C-alpha cells in the first residue's frame, strides 16, 4: 500500500474544490462519490437527491442518483469510480449512476489509455479516504508556507534515492552546511559543506524507499531551512511514469487527471508542471491556477503563488479558508 504524507487533512489542501452541502445534503455526506468532474463548460448544475442545486465545478465530486442539468451549448466530462470517463452533452438533464450516465444516449465515452482507468479509481478512492467523501475548500492564502523556494518541496515524495537539494542564495553567505537525518531526529546520515546552492545526495548510506527524511541548511550555524521528504516506492515511480505519459495528451481532462494523481501521490514538483500546462491549455478555467497557487505555496514560490491566486480570482474563483478537521 502506498504511504505518503499528503496534506488532505491540512488547511492548505491542494486539489479539490468545494461542494456546498445543505442540511438536506446529509445523505450525500455519508455517501461515497461515484465520480468527479474533470471538465465543465457552461453553467452546468448538479441537483442532489433532495433537489438542492449546486454548480458543477472541475474536481468536484458527484454522487449516485444526482442529476446534472446542462443549458444549451454546455457539457461536462465525468470520471467514474469504475475507471470510465463520459462526456455529457446535447441533453437538458442526465442522471448519475454508479455505472455511468443515464440515459446512455446522454453521454459519449471519453477514450482513455488502459492504465489511465486505474488512476481514475485511485483518485476517487483517495478523495473518499481523506475527505470522507465530501470535498473541501481551498484556503484563501498559504498556511505557514516555506519562506524560501526549496527542493525537495516540503512534505513531497521524490522519485530517486539520490535527490537534488536546492535553495536560494543568501546574501554574504560564504558557504552552506546541508544536513540530512531520518524523520524522527536520528543521527546524521550525511552532511556537506558547500558554496553551491544545489547539490545531489552523495552519502555512503543508500536512502530507502518509502522512508521519510529531514534535511536542513545552515549558514554560519543559523538554520536557513528545514523540511522533510519521502523516497517514492517502485510502485510510485511506475505510476509517475504512466501519469506523465498520460499527461502528454493535449486534452485538458486527461492532463487534469494526471495532475490530480501526481498531487495525491505527493509528487508536487511533477504536479506543478502539469498544472502549469493546464493553465495554458484551458486559460479560462479558474480551478487550475487555484490549484497551482497552493502548490507554489508548498514549494516556497511566493511570488508565483500570488500571481496564480490573482489569476484564479480574476477568472471568478472564490477562495475560502478551511479549518483543519
DSSP 204-268: SSPPPTT-EEEEEEEETTEEEEEEEEEEPPHHHHHHHHHHHHHHTS--HHHHHHHHHHHHHTT-H
Let me know whether 191 and 120 are in one domain: no
Let me know whether 108 and 203 are in one domain: no
Q: What is the value of pTM for the model shown?
A: 0.75
By mean pLDDT, which of 6-10, 39-43, 160-164 is the weakest?
Answer: 6-10
Has residue 267 been placed in a domain?
Answer: no
Has residue 91 been placed in a domain?
Answer: yes
Has residue 113 been placed in a domain?
Answer: yes
Has residue 81 been placed in a domain?
Answer: yes
Q: What is the pLDDT of residue 247?
A: 84
Please report, for the chain, how many H helices and E strands are present, in that order.
7, 17
What mean pLDDT comes out for the span 255-275? 91
What is the per-residue pLDDT across 150-195, written as a single tens digit (0 to 9) for each?
999 989 999 999 999 999 998 888 899 999 999 876 788 999 999 9
Let me know whether 124 and 202 are in one domain: no
What is the per-residue pLDDT across 59-81, written as a single tens digit (0 to 9) for each?
888 999 999 999 999 999 998 88
Has residue 275 been placed in a domain?
Answer: no
Q: What is the pLDDT of residue 81?
A: 83
Let me know whether 125 and 222 are in one domain: no
Has residue 252 been placed in a domain?
Answer: no
Instruction: Grade residue 147 by pLDDT with cuts at 50, 70 and 90.
Output: low
Has residue 154 been placed in a domain?
Answer: no
What mean pLDDT comes out for the span 92-114? 90
Let me know whether 35 and 116 are in one domain: yes
Read off the C-alpha cell for 301.
514560490
Higher pLDDT, 144 or 37: 37
The number of distinct structural domains making up the chain is: 2
- Mean pLDDT, the chain, as a whole number? 81
Domain that holds residue 117: 17-131
Spatial distance between the Cα atoms of 76 and 107, rounded to a whole number of angstroms? 9
Let me know whether 166 and 212 are in one domain: yes
Let me know whether 117 and 49 are in one domain: yes
Grid cell 535553495 in the structure block, residue: 167
Let me know whether 122 and 27 are in one domain: yes
Let me know whether 23 and 121 are in one domain: yes
- Judged against a pLDDT cut of 60, whether residue 239 lies above it is answered with yes
Instruction: Grade residue 6 by pLDDT with cuts at 50, 70 and 90.
Output: very low
Let me know whether 217 and 171 are in one domain: yes
Spatial distance between the Cα atoms of 80 and 83, rounded to a whole number of angstroms? 6
> What is the per-residue burial (b if ≥16 Cβ within 10 Å, else e) of 17-39?
bbbebeeebeebeebbbbbbbbb
SS3 4: coil
Let me know whether 194 and 120 are in one domain: no
Q: Identify the domain boundary among 210, 231, 252.
A: 231
Q: Which residue, among 34, 38, 1, 35, has the nearest Cα to 278 in the 3D structure?
A: 38
Q: Which residue, among 298, 16, 268, 7, has the nearest Cα to 144 in the 3D structure?
A: 298
- Judged against a pLDDT cut of 90, whether residue 125 lies above it is answered with no
Has residue 201 been placed in a domain?
Answer: yes
Give, for 162, the enclosing helix (H) or strand (E): none
- Cα–Cα distances in Å, from 197 out to 69, 169, 173, 180, 194? 53, 6, 11, 15, 8
Query: Domain holding 224: CATH number?
Result: 2.60.40.10
Dihedral of CA atoms 9, 11, 16, 21 in degrees, nearest 10, equals 90
Amino acid at each position: 500500500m502506498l504511504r505518503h504524507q499528503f496534506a488532505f487533512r491540512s488547511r492548505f489542501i491542494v486539489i479539490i474544490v468545494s461542494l456546498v452541502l445543505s442540511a438536506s445534503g446529509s445523505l450525500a455526506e455519508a455517501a461515497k462519490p461515484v465520480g468527479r468532474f474533470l471538465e465543465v463548460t457552461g453553467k452546468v448544475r448538479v441537483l442532489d437527491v433532495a433537489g438542492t442545486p449546486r454548480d458543477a465545478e472541475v474536481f468536484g465530486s458527484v454522487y449516485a442518483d444526482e442529476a446534472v442539468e446542462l443549458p444549451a451549448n454546455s457539457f461536462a466530462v465525468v470520471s467514474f469510480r469504475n475507471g470510465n470517463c463520459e462526456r455529457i452533452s446535447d441533453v437538458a438533464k442526465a442522471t448519475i449512476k454508479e455505472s455511468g450516465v443515464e440515459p446512455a444516449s446522454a453521454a459519449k465515452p471519453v477514450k482513455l489509455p488502459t492504465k489511465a482507468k486505474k488512476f481514475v479509481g485511485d483518485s476517487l478512492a483517495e478523495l473518499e479516504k481523506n475527505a470522507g467523501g465530501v470535498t473541501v475548500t481551498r484556503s484563501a492564502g498559504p498556511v505557514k508556507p516555506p519562506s524560501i523556494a526549496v527542493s525537495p518541496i516540503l512534505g513531497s515524495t521524490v522519485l530517486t534515492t539520490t535527490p537534488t537539494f536546492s535553495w536560494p542564495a543568501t546574501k554574504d553567505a560564504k558557504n552552506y552546511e546541508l544536513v540530512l537525518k531520518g524523520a524522527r531526529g536520528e543521527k546524521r546520515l550525511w552532511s556537506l559543506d558547500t558554496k553551491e546552492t544545489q547539490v545531489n545526495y552523495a552519502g555512503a548510506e543508500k536512502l530507502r524507499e518509502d522512508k521519510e527524511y529531514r534535511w536542513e541548511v545552515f549558514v554560519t550555524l543559523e538554520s536557513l531551512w528545514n523540511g522533510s521528504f519521502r523516497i517514492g516506492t517502485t510502485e510510485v515511480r511506475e505510476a509517475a511514469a504512466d501519469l506523465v505519459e498520460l499527461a502528454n495528451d493535449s486534452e485538458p481532462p486527461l492532463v487534469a487527471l494526471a495532475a490530480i494523481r501526481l498531487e495525491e501521490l505527493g509528487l508536487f514538483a511533477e504536479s506543478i508542471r502539469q498544472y502549469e500546462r493546464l493553465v495554458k491549455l484551458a486559460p479560462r478555467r479558474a480551478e487550475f491556477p487555484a490549484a497551482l497557487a497552493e502548490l507554489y505555496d508548498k514549494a516556497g514560490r511566493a511570488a508565483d503563488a500570488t500571481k496564480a491566486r490573482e489569476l484564479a480570482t480574476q477568472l471568478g474563483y472564490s477562495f475560502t479558508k478551511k479549518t483543519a478537521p
